[in-house]
């Protein structure tokens, strides 16, 4: 039997080389140098076991037993296993602050600062003036106060944590009055009623979905009321026959009864975005000036920094929040602070902001840059996609994303890919979408209306050469 197989170019189980012989083979040297003996031995065992099984089942082509062939398979398996799971992608979805793609991109200053904090000791909780113990919030609280007009500030892991902490510190076993029009759910897991419950506070809903009046807040205030709270409708808009009570009026009502008014601003911008041609969004400073006693917002939405939750407002309330044990559990690490400080610094020079703050640079990227880029890349993608697809450079609309300004759209330009053959396009578009997603740097677009849309707003000119290079060959 074995003779017969060898005659046909097939090897038997007894022909399989030993583990020791392979480990000493020249061909395995690179794998050993890259991955180390432990992993190479384990991978070789798996490979030899598979060969043995196939040999017993009927035979293995002889050339698959060569040390070079075994080494190639082993290296490929180990390289694949060692490939980073968190990878860079091209965000061509048209949503600039895409939660699933990591939201804001950090400016160079922040990246350099994180690198320093990663590789050298730093004064995270060490007062360089006195030599005594410091507070990590001291690193950024005066900057935050300067930029928002607030008396005091603190930082936690994200805005959800900021809201949870604020509610637990100021409203444990007491009532929080919120309009029914503002009971938001953000990305599935953050829902105002649930976070309220977890914080130990009792939600008192007032008004209706579309209309809430000052009297609704007023009538809900009782002996157990801890605060009046407003929540930014980050990912939806109530339009038509509507009425809501602004921050100034809610604050006035709260203050008349000796209560704080708090605002979950969601995205929370530090500058007036209309100066950059973007839609109006209340700034943190305006919200504080309108009378809010505490404002919470995200670090990685419009602010353009790292994931973080910022709380700014009255000094006595911030003090109380910082004493709450949850603060310790939700605190930020040094990398967050290292990234946040340079981002906040950029806001001190608003005239440079649109160039230096990556998020704002992307949001304000001019059509005169995006449109010619689309014309340049049309042919590149058409060649890569092959004759089954028609690629056009077309105008489209980007979104800010991440619950910022949900309905406003930014004019943009990009590529629309349609199936050029006859029949239903769905399967073919899915195939192309998958091929682009499997590139070394995955290209993420979106399929809608029988086309694959690639919005080029977030492909900055400095990334274009690398983008083009990986589309040089037709997609397989
Ligand atoms: C985004 C958002 C949150 C959650 O913020 P994270 O930083 O993602 O935790 C909470 N409230 C509102 C209104 C939001 O828009």
Strand ranges of the sheet holding 294-298, from the earlier edge strand across to the other edge? 152-156, 309-313, 294-298, 261-266, 225-231, 175-179, 202-206
Give the model's pLDDT for residue 406: 57
Q: Which helix (H) or strand (E) holds 156?
A: strand 152-156
User: How would DSSP label each residue in 32-69?
Assistant: HHHH-HHHHHHHHHHHHHHHHHHHHHT-EEGGGGSHHH
Average pLDDT (289-301) is 98
Average pLDDT (351-361) is 97
230 in contact with ligand 1, CB cutoff 6 A: no
CA 97–ligand 1 middle distance (angstroms):
13
107 in contact with ligand 1, CB cutoff 6 A: no
CA distance 330 to 165: 8
CA distance 50 to 74: 12
DSSP 199: T
Give the model's pLDDT for residue 275: 94
160 in contact with ligand 1, CB cutoff 6 A: yes
412 in contact with ligand 1, CB cutoff 6 A: no
| Cα-Cα-Cα-Cα dihedral sign, residues 149, 155, 160, 165 | negative
Q: Which helix (H) or strand (E) holds 117?
A: helix 108-119
CA 365–ligand 1 middle distance (angstroms):
25
Least confident of 31-45, 300-314, 389-403, 460-474: 389-403
Residue 8 in this model has a pLDDT that exceeds 70: no
Average pLDDT (23-49) is 97
Q: Which helix (H) or strand (E) holds 436?
A: helix 426-437
234 in contact with ligand 1, CB cutoff 6 A: yes
431-457 pLDDT, tens digit per residue, is 999 999 999 999 999 999 999 999 999
* b/e per residue 1-22 (b: at least 16 CB within 10 A): eeeebeeeebbbeebbeeeeeb
56 backbone dihedrals φ, ψ, rounded to 5°: -70, -30
75 in contact with ligand 1, CB cutoff 6 A: no
374-429 pLDDT, tens digit per residue, is 999 999 999 999 999 999 999 999 999 886 655 668 999 999 999 999 889 999 99
Give the model's pLDDT for residue 149: 98
Give the model's pLDDT for residue 3: 43
Contact (Cβ atoms closer than 8 angstroms) between residue 184 and residue 234:
yes
Q: Which helix (H) or strand (E) holds 334?
A: helix 334-346
Length of the chain: 476
CA 186–ligand 1 middle distance (angstroms):
6
Give the model's pLDDT for residue 5: 44
For the chain, percent of residues with pLDDT exceeding 70: 97
93-146 pLDDT, tens digit per residue, is 999 999 999 999 999 999 999 999 999 999 999 999 999 999 999 999 999 999
CA 425–ligand 1 middle distance (angstroms):
37
CA 160–ligand 1 middle distance (angstroms):
6
Give the model's pLDDT for residue 402: 80
Give the model's pLDDT for residue 1: 43
**Ligand 1 atom 11, closest CA:** 266
**Ligand 1 atom 12, closest CA:** 266
Nearest to 40 by CA among 48, 31, 49: 31
The whole-chain average pLDDT of the chain stands at: 94
Closest approach atom of ligand 1 to CA 265: 13
Name the pTM for this structure: 0.92
**Ligand 1 atom 6, closest CA:** 159
The owner of tokens 């106060």 is: 145
CA 243–ligand 1 middle distance (angstroms):
23
CA 187–ligand 1 middle distance (angstroms):
9
Pocket test for ligand 1, best of 159, 230, 297 (most atoms within 8 A of CB): 159
320-336 pLDDT, tens digit per residue, is 999 999 999 999 999 99
Residue 228 in this model has a pLDDT that exceeds 80: yes
Residue 187 in this model has a pLDDT that exceeds 80: no
């Amino acid at each position: 039997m074995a003779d017969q197989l060898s005659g046909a170019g097939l090897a038997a189980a007894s022909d399989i080389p030993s583990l020791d012989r392979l480990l000493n083979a020249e061909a395995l040297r690179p794998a050993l140098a890259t991955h180390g003996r432990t992993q190479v031995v384990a991978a070789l065992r798996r490979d030899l076991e598979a060969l043995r099984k196939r040999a017993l089942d009927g035979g293995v082509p002889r050339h698959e037993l060569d040390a070079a062939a075994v080494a190639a398979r082993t290296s490929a398996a180990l390289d694949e296993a060692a490939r980073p799971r968190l990878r860079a992608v091209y965000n061509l979805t048209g949503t600039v602050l895409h939660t699933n793609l990591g939201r804001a991109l950090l400016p160079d200053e922040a990246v350099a600062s994180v690198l320093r904090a990663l590789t050298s000791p730093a004064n995270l909780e060490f007062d360089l003036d006195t030599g005594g113990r410091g507070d990590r919030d001291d690193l950024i609280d005066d900057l935050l106060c300067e930029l928002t007009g607030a008396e005091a500030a603190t930082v936690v892991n994200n805005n959800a944590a900021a809201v949870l902490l604020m509610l637990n510190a100021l409203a444990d076993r007491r009532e929080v009055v919120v309009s029914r029009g503002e009971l938001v759910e953000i990305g599935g897991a953050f829902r105002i009623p649930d976070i309220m419950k977890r914080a130990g506070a009792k939600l008192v809903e007032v008004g209706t979905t579309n209309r809430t009046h000052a009297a609704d807040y007023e009538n809900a205030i009782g002996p157990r009321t801890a605060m009046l709270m407003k929540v930014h409708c980050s990912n939806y808009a109530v339009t038509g026959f509507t009425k809501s009570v602004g921050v100034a009026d809610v604050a006035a009502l709260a203050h008349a009864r000796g209560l704080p008014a708090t605002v979950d601003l969601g995205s929370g911008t530090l500058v007036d975005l209309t100066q950059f041609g973007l839609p109006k969004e209340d700034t943190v400073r305006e919200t504080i000036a309108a009378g809010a006693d505490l404002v919470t917002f995200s670090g990685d939405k419009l602010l353009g920094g790292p994931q973080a939750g910022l709380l700014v407002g009255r000094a006595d309330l911030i003090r109380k929040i910082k004493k709450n044990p949850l603060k310790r559990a939700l605190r930020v690490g040094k990398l967050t602070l290292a990234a946040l400080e340079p981002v906040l610094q950029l806001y001190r020079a608003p005239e440079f902001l649109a160039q230096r703050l990556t998020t704002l640079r992307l949001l304000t990227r001019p059509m005169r840059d995006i449109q010619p880029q689309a014309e340049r890349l049309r042919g590149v993608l058409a060649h890569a996609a092959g004759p089954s697809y028609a690629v056009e450079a077309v105008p489209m609309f980007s979104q800010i994303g991440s619950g910022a300004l949900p309905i406003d759209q930014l004019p943009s330009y990009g590529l629309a890919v349609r199936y050029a053959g006859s029949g239903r396009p769905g399967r073919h578009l899915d195939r192309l979408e998958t091929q682009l997603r499997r590139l070394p740097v995955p290209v993420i677009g979106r399929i809608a209306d029988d086309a694959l849309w690639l919005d080029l707003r977030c492909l900055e000119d400095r990334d274009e050469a690398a983008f083009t290079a990986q589309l040089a060959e037709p997609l397989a």
